[in-house]
Amino acid sequence: TDPGSSVLATLDVRRDTSAFQFSANPETQLQAMLEISNNLSNTLSVQDILPKVLDSLFKIFVQADRGFVIMRPSPDRPLVAVASKARRGDDSQEIRFSKTIVEQAMEAQKAFLSADATTDERFHMAQSIADFEIRSLICAPMISSDGKSLGVLQIDTSDQRSRFTDQDLEVLVGVANQAAIAVDNAKLHEESVRQQALERDLEVAHQMQHAVLPKSSPQLPGYHFFEFYEAASQVGGDYYDYVMLPEGRVAAVVGAVAGRG
C-alpha cells in the first residue's frame, strides 16, 4: 500500500513464528538444499562455511551479480561483510552492502525482496545502492537456534530484466536457515576445541603444582606429621612445604592465595 516502496514481499523468519511454506519450484528448492547441505556437511569452521554459502548461492541464482554474508565480529562491533563474492572481477574492488537493509533484516528478523532498490524509499537510497544501481535484491537473516540474529545473506543484481521473485526469496530463506545451523554447529565445535585445550592446560598446571609439594614428611623424633591437600578444582591457590633449618629444627610453611580470580 506504500506507493514509495518497491518491496514486493517479506517473510517473517523468527523462531517463534509458525513455519513458512515453500512455494518455489521444487527442483529449485531441492537444488538449493542439496547444494548447501553437501557443501556444509563436513565443514566445522565458520571461516570455511561462509564462502561456500556464497558459492552455492551463485549457482542457484544465476542472475546474481554480488553476494554478501554480513555479521558482527563481536556483539559490540559494527556490521561488516565477513564474506563477499562478485560474478565479475571488476566489481570486487568496490564491494559494499547497504547497512540500512541489513539492519532492518536483522532487527525485524524478516527477509526482504525489492524489485528496484534504487527507487525504494524504504531503504533511504543507501549509497551502495546508488553507486551500483542495484535493480533487485533479496536478503534473509540467519537465525540461531536460540532465536538470535547471527547475520544476513544478501544477493543483488543490476540487470533490470533478471529481477528476483518471491519464490527466490523463499529459497534464500531456506539457505539462510541451513547456513545458520552450520554456523551454530561450527561455533559449538570451536568452543569444544577451546574447552579441550583449556582442560589440557589445567591438567599440566595440576601436575606442576603437585610437583612442587613435598614428597614426604620430615622424620623428627617425638613428632608425627600428617598432611592432606585437595584443590577445589583442578588447580588451587594453596601451598605447603617443610623447610629443614639448622640445629635440627623444622619449619612448616603454609600459604593460601585469596582473590586469584
Q: Which residues pair with 256 in a beta bridge?
A: 238
Confidence of residue 20 (pLDDT cuts 50, 70, 90): very low
pLDDT digits (tens, 9 = 90+) for 125-158: 555 555 556 678 888 999 988 888 889 999 888 8
Q: Which of 21-30, 203-212, 227-236 has the highest mean pLDDT?
A: 203-212
Residue 89, C-beta contacts closer than 8 angstroms, at least 6 positions apart: none
The residue-averaged pLDDT of 36-51 equals: 75
Decide if pLDDT at 116 tops 80: no
pLDDT given for residue 153 in this prediction: 92
Decide if pLDDT at 123 tops 60: no
What is the rounded average pLDDT for all residues in the chain?
A: 78
pLDDT digits (tens, 9 = 90+) for 58-93: 888 888 888 999 988 777 888 888 888 988 765 545
pLDDT greater at residue 81 or residue 114: 81
Residues in the chain: 261
pLDDT given for residue 46 in this prediction: 76
